């Protein structure tokens, strides 16, 4: 291991090391602590300019209730769920199918398709903005959840296909040979060999996709304008304009946007890290 | 019927499997990108008919002072973002100990990575708020007054980049943590026998084993720097007076707020060409590795 592990016996060293790591961690997360602390401050303290001193009251419940009752945040939250969940499911299905074909079937242009899927994923969003927006206007989906679902499904399919292709390519070849020898067709192999084996990859991919899509801001502002469709990210940016000095309300709203991906991450941490490194390192 | 089906299903079924992905990605992502390049040769307000003006938009862009401001800011983003891989490596090395409690510490270091960029933008806007923010608090501890970073045209881009690099460092750290956990124990052991320690070990034994990770960290960081949009939109909307705009933001503003879709498409095309350098570099290495492994 590098760096050299601190031995169990060096208790003093361990204590110093842990203390140092915790100090660095506190500095690292200081901006986040600032927003959490502000989100539980009372409006009185905010208007008195008492932002960092000892709080005169406890505004946790009040602030979060305010965000849900006095702002459209609850609506934005529902919109985000409505956009994110179907997109994730759509991408998982499409990328399993495409990844299976790309990894287990030899055909012309497979490398080109693979390259386009990876390359397309790194394009600046602006290069597709005008035509995508125009397309959604033409087909009457502009400013509906469908416009975002379709866009995210299309865009994330590039990355996800590469991810699934690499995972399926790493499965033992013998399984596929045996299935073929038994006379299994492509669709039987997919349903009976691939799908049961790719579950961990699908879990990792699902959490990554959830984070990417939930956190999207650019497409939310390009493809939606109404409060009834807008996801939390675009909604939060709006609130920021309306509640200029009410930092406790804005902080609470920010926390509401931040919590779902963070919670997902802590629940499925191992999948998340494995997915991220596999997605990036192998491709 | 069943005979024809049987003869062709070996290729029909796979084609049906992959077709939806190719069509969706092809239409929404690839065709749209190409169409933008086409639009960039036109004058278009987004509603009426397009008018062909050849390189007109590009000529105008070359005379637009805002274009150079954006370009300069993109360069600042790119340069400062290059700190993310080494800082990510540093944190990865710091936390790579097997002590009880380190697992939760590592996860807490990852947190900025999963935050929405809008949330990061607001968090840092709050940190930078004059008089009341965390930065002002830190300055006042030394009896100093914090500068109003987001309304200072010379400092604003740096302030936004520092906010944006926070999740990027976390990303590089994740990559490097995976990298240093798959180092060859034999090489490290041999290095130790030869008396390599600390910097020497890092430089001569560890880093050479991490070239693939480093390449990916640098390529993805560079692409991320050039793609920056969200933080600028949330923190300053390109201000004050356009001083924090980058190409991605300028494109958005010209199209959505000024209805100059042709001009916006031209800016997007320039950004695309700049990024293509990094994308092709990345792709060529990945594909070479891919062909080598087949």
Over the stretch B167-198, which tens digit does the pLDDT of each residue have? 999 999 999 998 998 888 888 888 888 887 88
Residue B76 to chain A, least CA–CA distance (Å): 18
Name residues 40-79 of chain B within 8 A of A (Cβ).
Answer: 46
The β-bridge partners of A105 are none
Across the range A256-279, mean pLDDT stands at 85
- Residues B87, B95 contacting (CB under 8 angstroms): no
Across the range A25-53, mean pLDDT stands at 87
Q: H/E/C letters for each residue in B66-97?
A: HHHHHHHHHHHHHHHHCCHHHHHHHHHHHHCC
- Assess A188–B contact: CB distance below 8 Å, yes or no: no
Among B49, B43, B74, B60, residue whose Cα is nearest residue B164: B74
- Residues B196, B205 contacting (CB under 8 angstroms): yes
- Assess A218–B contact: CB distance below 8 Å, yes or no: yes
Smallest Cβ–Cβ distance between B126 and the set A2, A34, A232 belongs to A34
User: Residue B1's pLDDT is what?
Assistant: 58
3-state secondary structure of A137: helix
- Assess A25–B contact: CB distance below 8 Å, yes or no: yes
- Residues B149, B159 contacting (CB under 8 angstroms): yes
Residue B90 to chain A, least CA–CA distance (Å): 11
- Is residue A278 pLDDT above 80, yes or no? no
| A146 contacts: CB under 8 Å, gap ≥ 6 | none
CA distance A58 to A39: 10
Find where tokens 């060409």 sit. B273
* ipTM (interface predicted TM): 0.92
Over the stretch A195-248, which tens digit does the pLDDT of each residue have? 999 998 899 899 999 999 999 999 999 999 999 999 999 999 999 888 877 888
| B150 contacts: CB under 8 Å, gap ≥ 6 | B125, B128, B156, B159, B160, B235, B236
Consecutive sets of 10 residues in chain B, 294 residues long: mean pLDDT of each?
Answer: 72 88 94 95 90 94 96 96 97 91 91 94 92 87 88 94 96 92 85 82 88 91 94 92 95 94 96 92 82 64
Q: 10 Å Cβ neighbour count for B140?
A: 13
User: Residue A283's pLDDT is what?
Assistant: 38
3-state secondary structure of B100: coil
Q: Which pLDDT band, with edges at 50, 70 and 90, does A280 fall under? A: low
**Contact state of A34 with B283 under an 8 Å Cβ cutoff:** no
Of chain A, the percentage scoring pLDDT greater than 70 comes to 98
User: Residue B155's pLDDT is what?
Assistant: 94
The β-bridge partners of B42 are B52
- Residues B33, A128 contacting (CB under 8 angstroms): yes
User: Residue A282's pLDDT is what?
Assistant: 45
Would the pTM of this model clear 0.90, i.e. be above it?
yes
**Contact state of A126 with B28 under an 8 Å Cβ cutoff:** no
Continuous segment of H or E residues that includes residue B42: strand B42-43
Chain B residues with CB-CB distance to A141 below 8 A: none
Comparing A153 with A176, which gets the higher pLDDT? A153
Of chain A, the percentage scoring pLDDT greater than 90 comes to 50
On the 0-12 / 13-18 / 19+ scale of CB atoms within 10 A, B235 is buried
- Assess A161–B contact: CB distance below 8 Å, yes or no: yes
**Contact state of B134 with A34 under an 8 Å Cβ cutoff:** yes
Poorest-pLDDT segment among A61-65, A123-127, B3-7: B3-7
**Contact state of B35 with A222 under an 8 Å Cβ cutoff:** no
Chain A residues with CB-CB distance to B262 below 8 A: none
Q: Is the peptide bond before A3 cis (omega within 30 degrees of 0)?
A: yes
**Contact state of B17 with A280 under an 8 Å Cβ cutoff:** no
Chain A residues with CB-CB distance to B259 below 8 A: none
């Amino acid at each position: 291991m590098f760096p050299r592990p601190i031995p169990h016996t060096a208790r003093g060293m361990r204590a110093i090391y842990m203390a140092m790591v915790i100090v660095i961690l506190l500095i690292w997360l200081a901006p986040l602590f600032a927003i959490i602390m502000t989100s539980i401050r009372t409006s009185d303290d905010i208007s008195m300019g008492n932002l960092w001193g000892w709080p005169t009251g406890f505004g946790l419940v009040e602030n979060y209730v305010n965000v849900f009752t006095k702002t459209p945040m609850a609506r934005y939250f529902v919109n985000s769920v409505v956009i994110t969940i179907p997109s994730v499911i759509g991408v998982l299905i499409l990328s399993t199918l495409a990844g299976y074909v790309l990894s287990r079937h030899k055909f012309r242009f497979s490398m080109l398709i693979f390259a386009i899927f990876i390359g397309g994923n790194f394009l600046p969003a602006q290069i597709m903005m005008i035509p995508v927006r125009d397309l959604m206007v033409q087909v009457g989906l502009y400013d509906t959840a469908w416009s975002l679902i379709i866009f995210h499904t299309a865009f994330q399919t590039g990355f996800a296909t590469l991810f699934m292709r690499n995972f399926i390519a790493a499965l033992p070849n013998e399984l596929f040979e045996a299935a073929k020898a038994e006379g299994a067709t492509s669709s039987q192999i997919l349903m009976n060999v691939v799908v049961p084996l790719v579950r961990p990859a699908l879990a990792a991919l699902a959490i990554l996709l959830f984070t990417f899509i939930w956190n999207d801001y650019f497409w939310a502002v390009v493809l939606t304008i109404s409060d009834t469709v807008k996801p939390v990210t675009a909604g939060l940016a709006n609130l920021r304009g309306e509640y200029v000095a009410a930092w406790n309300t804005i902080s609470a709203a920010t926390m509401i946007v931040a919590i779902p991906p963070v919670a997902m991450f802590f629940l499925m941490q191992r999948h998340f890290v494995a997915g991220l490194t596999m997605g990036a390192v192998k491709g | 019927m069943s005979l024809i089906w049987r003869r062709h299903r070996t290729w029909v079924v796979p084609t049906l499997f992959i077709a939806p992905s190719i069509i969706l990605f092809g239409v929404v992502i690839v065709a749209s990108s190409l169409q933008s390049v086409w639009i960039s040769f036109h004058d278009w307000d987004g509603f009426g008919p397009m008018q062909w003006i050849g390189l007109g938009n590009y000529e105008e862009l070359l005379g637009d002072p805002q274009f150079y401001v954006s370009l300069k800011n993109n360069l600042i983003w790119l340069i400062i973002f290059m700190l993310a891989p080494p800082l990510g490596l540093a944190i990865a090395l710091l936390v790579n100990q097997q002590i009880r409690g380190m697992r939760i510490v590592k996860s807490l270091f990852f947190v900025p990575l999963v935050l929405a960029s809008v949330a990061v933008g607001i968090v840092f806007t709050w940190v930078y708020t004059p008089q009341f923010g965390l930065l002002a608090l830190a300055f006042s501890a030394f009896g100093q007054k914090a500068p109003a970073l987001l309304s200072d045209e010379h400092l604003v881009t740096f302030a936004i980049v520092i906010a944006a690099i926070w999740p990027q460092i976390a990303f590089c750290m994740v990559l490097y943590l995976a990298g240093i956990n798959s180092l060859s124990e034999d090489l490290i052991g041999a290095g130790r026998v030869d008396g390599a320690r600390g910097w020497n070990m890092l430089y001569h034994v560890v880093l050479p084993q991490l070239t693939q990770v480093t390449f990916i960290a640098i390529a993805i960081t560079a692409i991320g720097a050039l793609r920056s949009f969200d933080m600028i939109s949330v923190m300053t909307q390109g201000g004050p007076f356009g001083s924090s705009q980058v190409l991605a933001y300028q494109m958005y503003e010209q199209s959505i707020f000024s209805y100059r879709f042709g001009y916006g498409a031209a800016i997007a095309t320039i950004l695309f060409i700049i990024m293509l350098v990094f994308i092709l570099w990345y792709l060529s290495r990945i594909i070479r590795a891919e062909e080598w492994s087949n």
